[in-house]
Amino acid sequence: MTAHATAIRAQTLIVAGTPVADYCDGTSMDPDHSPRPYLHPVRTLDGVEMTEAEPADHPHHYGMSNAIADVDSSNYWGGPSYVESRGYQMLPDQGRQQVLHTHASTTTIEQQVQWLDAAGTHHLSEQRHLRAVHLPQAQGWALHWHSVLHADATALALGSPATRGRIGAGYGGLFWRLSDTSWPTTVTVVDGGGTKRALGSRSPWLLVQQERERGTVSLLLVQPAPTLPWFVRTQGYVGAGPAVTWRDQRHLGLGQHYRMSLAAVLTDRAITPDEAAVLAADQTSILQEDM
């Protein structure tokens, strides 16, 4: 396939001749959902979909995307914003991400993205790189996502509902939205199993496994060091990702940047914790080499 150097509406990543993910530019999203590029559907090599977009429970969730709940009071997560002592409120504060430049092949996507605040003013810039990698030894494939946020317009404060007073709601960053709770789901980190153990853990990896119609499917999320706390939900919906602002705001001075990286291994079979540790170590090495 010929590489592109223009903003595209959708791009398909292909591994071993199999389409595994569609990357959409987000331009058709509801403005209240903080329009942004996102991956959906993301599939295993056997075609099992491992993402959801615009689900009834949280219609502002879109597959796998880079979504931060609060950047200087602009909401890039979508939907309502958490207001201390008042709870979630629907405010006119949703920003959006606009693709400026795309260079893509069947296995990689490189983009320049600008984040526009609620008033449509340039807020920050992002360099984004996605890569799909075949993992025949694991009988699956891996997605590598790297983003670098540049505070090129003003100093910034990144936040979350947790930084506004909702304890445990430190979500925001590279977030993976899976299914609702209709499929039996287990979550495991290096210290053991269970969502309570995983929430807030700084484990280098987080393993989500579901029992689907054709058997067990696995999603192994891997962070490079230093690891961020994991945000993970399995009640109401299934979703997970490293939390950029778990308790405290993250401040970027004018001209500073912030790196974000995540690997995801997808298989059509169960993965043991021991195997997860080995796979995660391999993916961590690759992530750190790419940084």
Is the dihedral angle over the CA atoms 82, 87, 90, 93 positive or is it negative? negative
Q: What is the pLDDT of residue 4?
A: 40
Topology of domain 10-290 in CATH is: Beta-galactosidase; Chain A, domain 5 (2.70.98)
Model confidence, pTM: 0.96
Q: What is the pLDDT of residue 291?
A: 66
Please identify which residue in the block is written with the tokens 């491992």: 50
Quote the pLDDT of residue 5.
Answer: 37
Q: How confident is the model at residue 1 (pLDDT cuts 50, 70, 90)?
A: very low
* Cα-based angle 80, 86, 89 (whole degrees, multiple of 5): 15
Binned at pLDDT 50, 70 and 90, residue 175 comes out as very high
How distant, in Å, are the alpha carbons of 93, 133, 171 from that of 178? 26, 21, 15
End-to-end CA distance of the chain: 26
Domain boundary assignment for the chain = 10-290
Burial call 122-151: b when 16+ CB within 10 Å, e when fewer: ebbbbbbbbbbbbbeebebbbbbbbbebbb
Residue 289: which pLDDT band, with cuts at 50, 70 and 90? confident
Distance CA 15, CA 12 (A): 10
